[in-house]
Amino acid sequence: MRNEKNDSLLMQWKAIVNPMDSCWLFQYSMCDNYTCYQGIPSTPMTMTTVGPGDTTDLKFSSNAFTHFSGTPVVKVLVWDMDIPSSVDTITYYITICPDSVACEYYSSGTKPLLNKIEVKVFPVPANDKINLKYPILFNGKISITDLSGIEIISIPAKGNSTSINIEWMTKGIYFIRISENNKIEFTQKFIKL
């Protein structure tokens, strides 16, 4: 998040959707520019002041394994304390895999997943564009998220291949995700040079 005001910015945030199931026995936290909180607070938290032109982060992280799997979507409200009506929503798409087993089963167990059908992502690492090829006709969504789960790009997936311009993106590590009917069906990490 970037402060585009000519004055300092004091922000608050809180979770509005947190489907993290306690039976997942899995440790997770939310960190702002001031501190890290165990879990995701649903009461307003205040960040440290952000100067004009400066940036700050609100990051989700996990640090343990679980015996359950899922793809919860966590939503956090963020607002300027000087202008409480200036509210934005940050959405985190999280994939929880049991222990070290890859998540590769559709929740209903009736439809083959793209993880089970080979999805080719190339080139990796990528500089200008990233390409995806899959051997089935597919109508869904392709998204790219940063390490904290913030969605950078979201486009419709149609047919059996897609090419995405990433030339404008900052160097770093990202995740490319393919989803259908709001269920993440494929995730792969890639490096942007």
Give me the percent of the chain exceeding a pLDDT of 70.
74
- Distance, CA of 59 to CA of 51 (rounded, Å): 19
Tell whether the model's pLDDT for residue 112 goes beyond 70: no
pLDDT tens, 24-43? 544 677 788 778 777 778 88
Tell whether the model's pLDDT for residue 96 goes beyond 80: no
Ranked by mean pLDDT, the top range of 31-35, 112-116, 140-144, 177-181 is 140-144
Question: 120-192: what fold?
Answer: Immunoglobulin-like (2.60.40)
Would you list the domain boundaries of the chain?
A: 11-93, 120-192
- Distance, CA of 157 to CA of 155 (rounded, Å): 6
Q: Looking at 8-22, 25-39, 69-83, 137-151, which range is the least confident one?
A: 25-39
pLDDT tens, 38-88? 777 888 988 888 888 888 888 777 655 455 556 777 788 888 888 888 788
Phi, psi for 157 (deg, rounded to 5) = -105, 120
Q: Where are the beta strands (DSSP E) in the chain?
A: 11-17, 28-31, 36-38, 45-46, 59-62, 73-80, 83-93, 120-122, 129-133, 140-146, 151-157, 161-165, 172-180, 183-192
pLDDT at 107: 29
**Mean pLDDT score, 162-191:** 84
